[in-house]
Structure 1
Amino acid sequence: MRIRVVSSKEEINSLGRCEKIVHLAFRPANKDIFTLVRSCPDLKAIHIPSSYIRTVSNSTKMFLDMQGIALLEGDVWGHRKDINEYSEIRPEVLDRIQEFKAEGLSEPDMLGRLGRETRLSRDLLKFLLKEKAK
């Protein structure tokens, strides 16, 4: 699974229509989020760093909820945008989710173990669990 990393608001208009998960590495204004949703009709989630997510307005959160788009808190650790515009979630992470489900682990236990193993944010892991359940 790939997460498109966007470093500036100018990049939003250059995104492909098929992007599913986008990480905003800048402090987005409401207008930037609305533009992103319009540019990417297949968008399932917007991933924003913890320090920036607090500035997203309640009306924007409500809009995203009505659109069925998850707002995820977290960062993409160790990613270098100059090398690749996408951050990859390794297939092994999705395999581990399947293994934990087969073992009958509860969601909090899965989130704890996956968080330690992958260093992915808790919100992103919750999103992946829901996506794998579909």
Structure 2
Amino acid sequence: MNIRVVSSKEEIETLSPNEEMIHLAFRPANTDLFTIVQKCPQVKAFHIPTSYKRTISTSARMFLQMQNIELLEGDVWGHRKDINEYSGISQGVYDRIKQYRENGMPEQDITEKLVRETRLSPDLITFLMQNS
């Protein structure tokens, strides 16, 4: 899965309608979230830093919940936006999830182990497990 990294409000105009996961590297206002949802009807999740997630209003959270859009906490580590506007989740992460499930490992343990191994956020790993 690819995560589209959006660094500023001005980049919202450049989003493709088929984006499924978007990392917001800026503090979004309610109108920014509404605009993105209208522009990208297939969006399944917003991935935002912890400090920004705390500032999302209750009305925006309710709107996202009604649209079945997840609000995930976390950062995109080591990504260079000047090289690629997408940050990818490698197939290896999905392979490990599958392997750990086949070994009978509980979901919580899988999440904890993958957080340590991949530096992905617990919210993102849980989302990937639910959608794989």
Match of residue 112 from structure 2: 112
Match of residue 56 from structure 1: 56
Q: State TM-score, norm by structure 1.
A: 0.97
Q: CA deviation at 1:123?
A: 0.4
Q: Please identify runs of 4+ aligned residues in structure 1 that moved more than 4 A.
A: none
Q: Secondary structure at the match of 1:108?
A: helix
**Percent of aligned positions that are identical:** 61
Q: State TM-score, norm by structure 2.
A: 0.99
Q: CA deviation at 1:121?
A: 0.4
- Name the CA distance, whole Å, in 2 between partners of 1:58 and 1:95: 36
Matched, 1:29 2:29: yes
Report the AA paired with residue 14 of structure 2. Answer: S
What is the 5 A alignment of 1:1-134?
Answer: 1-132=1-132
- Name the CA distance, whole Å, in 2 between partners of 1:60 and 1:51: 16
Q: Secondary structure at the match of 1:28?
A: coil
Q: CA deviation at 1:13?
A: 1.6
Report the AA paired with residue 14 of structure 1. Answer: T
- Name the CA distance, whole Å, in 2 between partners of 1:58 and 1:48: 16
Q: Secondary structure at the match of 1:100?
A: helix
Q: CA deviation at 1:14?
A: 1.3
Q: Which 5+ residue runs of structure 1 have no aligned equivalent?
A: none
Q: Which 5+ residue runs of structure 2 have no aligned equivalent?
A: none
In the comparison of the two structures, how many residue pairs are matched? 132
Q: CA deviation at 1:118?
A: 0.4
- Name the CA distance, whole Å, in 2 between partners of 1:58 and 1:104: 38
Q: How big is the alpha-carbon RMSD for the aligned residues of Structure 1 and Structure 2?
A: 0.5
- Name the CA distance, whole Å, in 1 between partners of 2:83 and 2:12: 19
